[in-house]
A and B are shown apart, each in its own frame.
Chain A
Amino acid sequence: MAVYELKPTKQPPLSERGAIAWIRHNLLSSPFNILFTILSLWILYIIIPPMVKWFVLDANFVGNSKAECTGDGACWIFIREKFKIFIYGFYPESEQWRANLTMGLGALTVALAVIDRVPRSIKIASILMLPVVAIILLSGGYFGLAYIETNQWGGLLLTLVIAAVGIVLSFPIGILFALGRQSKLPIIKTLSVFYIELIRGVPLITVLFMASVVLPLFFPEGMDFDKLIRALIGITLFQAAYVAENIRGGLQAIPRGQYEASEAMGLTYWKRMRLVILPQAIKVAIPNLVGSFISLFKDTSLVMIIGLFDLLSMVTLTTNDRDWLGLSTEGFVFVAIIYWIFNYLMSRYSKNLEKKLDTNNKD
Chain B
Amino acid sequence: MKKLLKLSTAVAMITTLSMAGTLDDVKKAGTLKCGVNTGLPGFAEADSKGTWRGMDVDFCRAVAAAVLGDAKKVKYVALNAKERFTALQSGEIDILARNTTWTNTRDTTLGLNFAGVNYYDGQGFMVPKSLGVKSAKELDNATLCIQSGTTTEMNLADYFRANGMKFKAITFDTNEQVDNAFFSGRCDILTSDQSSLYASRTKATDPSKYIVLPDVISKEPLGPVVRQGDDQWFNAIKWILNAVITAEEKGISSKNVDDAAKNSTDPEVRRLLGAEGTMGKNIGLDGDAFMKVIKQVGNYGEMFENNIGENTPLKIKRGLNALWDNGGLLYSPPFR
Using a CB–CB distance below 8 Å, which chain A residues touch chain B? Answer: 81-82, 84-85, 88-91, 93, 139, 141, 147, 149, 151, 154, 209, 212-214, 216-217, 219-227, 229, 304-307, 309, 313, 316-323, 325-326, 328
Complex CA distance for A322 and B78, rounded to whole angstroms: 17
Interface pair B25/A222, CB less than 8 Å apart: yes
Interface pair B83/A213, CB less than 8 Å apart: yes
The 6 closest A-B pairs by CB, nearest first: A326-B203, A216-B90, A320-B39, A317-B39, A222-B17, A307-B78
Interface pair A322/B45, CB less than 8 Å apart: yes
Complex CA distance for A224 and B14, rounded to whole angstroms: 12
A139: B residues at CB distance < 8 A: 2
Q: Which of B11, B312, B313 contacts A223 (CB 8 A)?
A: B11
Given A93-B49, A147-B2, A321-B46: A217 and B18 within 8 A (CB)? no
Complex CA distance for A236 and B80, rounded to whole angstroms: 23
CB closest residue in chain B, given A89: B50
Interface pair B90/A309, CB less than 8 Å apart: no
Interface pair A221/B49, CB less than 8 Å apart: no
Interface pair B75/A151, CB less than 8 Å apart: yes
Complex CA distance for A326 and B3, rounded to whole angstroms: 39
Complex CA distance for A209 and B18, rounded to whole angstroms: 25
Q: Which of B3, B25, B83 contacts A307 (CB 8 A)?
A: B83
Interface pair B86/A321, CB less than 8 Å apart: no
B47: A residues at CB distance < 8 A: 321, 323
Which residues of B (199-256) have their CB < 8 Å from a CB of A? 199, 202-203
Of A81, A93, A212, A320, the most chain B CB neighbours within 10 A belong to A320
B329 close to chain A: CB less than 8 A: no
Of A85, A217, A221, A309, the most chain B CB neighbours within 10 A belong to A221
Which residues of B (67-118) have their CB < 8 Å from a CB of A? 75-80, 82-83, 86-87, 89-92
Interface pair B76/A224, CB less than 8 Å apart: no
Complex CA distance for A100 and B21, rounded to whole angstroms: 41
Given A229-B3, A304-B38: A321 and B45 within 8 A (CB)? yes
Given A217-B90, A221-B18, A317-B39: A325 and B202 within 8 A (CB)? yes
Of A213, A214, A322, the most chain B CB neighbours within 10 A belong to A322
Complex CA distance for A343 and B215, rounded to whole angstroms: 50
Interface pair A82/B48, CB less than 8 Å apart: yes
Q: Which of A212, A214, A320 contacts B41 (CB 8 A)?
A: A320
Interface pair A85/B48, CB less than 8 Å apart: yes
Q: Which of B18, B87, B203 contacts A220 (CB 8 A)?
A: B18
A84: B residues at CB distance < 8 A: 48, 50
Interface pair A223/B50, CB less than 8 Å apart: no
CB closest residue in chain B, given A315: B39
Q: Which of A141, A209, A217 contacts B89 (CB 8 A)?
A: A217
Interface pair B179/A223, CB less than 8 Å apart: no
A151: B residues at CB distance < 8 A: 75-77
A320: B residues at CB distance < 8 A: 39-41, 45, 199
Using a CB–CB distance below 8 Å, which chain B residues touch chain A? Answer: 2-3, 6-7, 10-11, 14, 17-18, 20, 25, 33, 38-42, 45-50, 75-80, 82-83, 86-87, 89-92, 176, 179, 199, 202-203, 307-308, 312-314
CB closest residue in chain A, given B16: A222
Q: Which of A223, A227, A325 contacts B199 (CB 8 A)?
A: A325
| Minimum CB–CB distance for B80 against chain A, Å | 6
CB closest residue in chain B, given A314: B46
Interface pair A325/B91, CB less than 8 Å apart: no
CB closest residue in chain A, given B47: A321
CB closest residue in chain B, given A332: B176
CB closest residue in chain A, given B312: A322
**Contacts A82-B48, A217-B90, A325-B202 known; 10 new A-B pairs at CB < 8 A:** A85-B49, A154-B50, A216-B90, A222-B18, A222-B20, A223-B7, A304-B38, A307-B38, A316-B39, A326-B179
| Minimum CB–CB distance for A83 against chain B, Å | 9
Complex CA distance for A81 and B308, rounded to whole angstroms: 22
Interface pair B80/A307, CB less than 8 Å apart: yes
Interface pair A223/B14, CB less than 8 Å apart: yes
| Minimum CB–CB distance for A304 against chain B, Å | 7
Complex CA distance for A91 and B46, rounded to whole angstroms: 13
Complex CA distance for A226 and B6, rounded to whole angstroms: 10
Q: Which of A85, A154, A307 contacts B77 (CB 8 A)?
A: A307
| Minimum CB–CB distance for B176 against chain A, Å | 6
Given A217-B86, A222-B25, A306-B83: A90 and B202 within 8 A (CB)? no
B38: A residues at CB distance < 8 A: 304, 307, 313, 316-317
Complex CA distance for A177 and B245, rounded to whole angstroms: 60
Of B25, B41, B48, the most chain A CB neighbours within 10 A belong to B48
Interface pair B313/A90, CB less than 8 Å apart: no
A213: B residues at CB distance < 8 A: 82-83, 86
B46: A residues at CB distance < 8 A: 85, 90, 317-318, 321
Interface pair A216/B86, CB less than 8 Å apart: yes
Interface pair B17/A226, CB less than 8 Å apart: no
Interface pair A221/B75, CB less than 8 Å apart: no
Complex CA distance for A212 and B82, rounded to whole angstroms: 11
A214: B residues at CB distance < 8 A: 86
Complex CA distance for A209 and B83, rounded to whole angstroms: 9
Given A88-B50, A221-B17, A321-B45: A226 and B82 within 8 A (CB)? no
CB closest residue in chain B, given A324: B48
CB closest residue in chain B, given A217: B90
| Minimum CB–CB distance for B212 against chain A, Å | 15
Interface pair A326/B41, CB less than 8 Å apart: no
A209: B residues at CB distance < 8 A: 82-83
Q: Which of A85, A149, A306, A323 contacts B50 (CB 8 A)?
A: A85
Interface pair B91/A224, CB less than 8 Å apart: yes
| Minimum CB–CB distance for A41 against chain B, Å | 29
Complex CA distance for A268 and B38, rounded to whole angstroms: 54
CB closest residue in chain A, given B10: A223
CB closest residue in chain B, given A319: B39
Complex CA distance for A309 and B20, rounded to whole angstroms: 32
| Minimum CB–CB distance for B44 against chain A, Å | 8
CB closest residue in chain B, given A140: B2
Q: Which of A141, A318, A323 contacts B2 (CB 8 A)?
A: A141
Q: Which of A224, A225, A307, A328 contacts B79 (CB 8 A)?
A: A307
Of B2, B46, B179, the most chain A CB neighbours within 10 A belong to B46
A318: B residues at CB distance < 8 A: 39, 45-46, 48
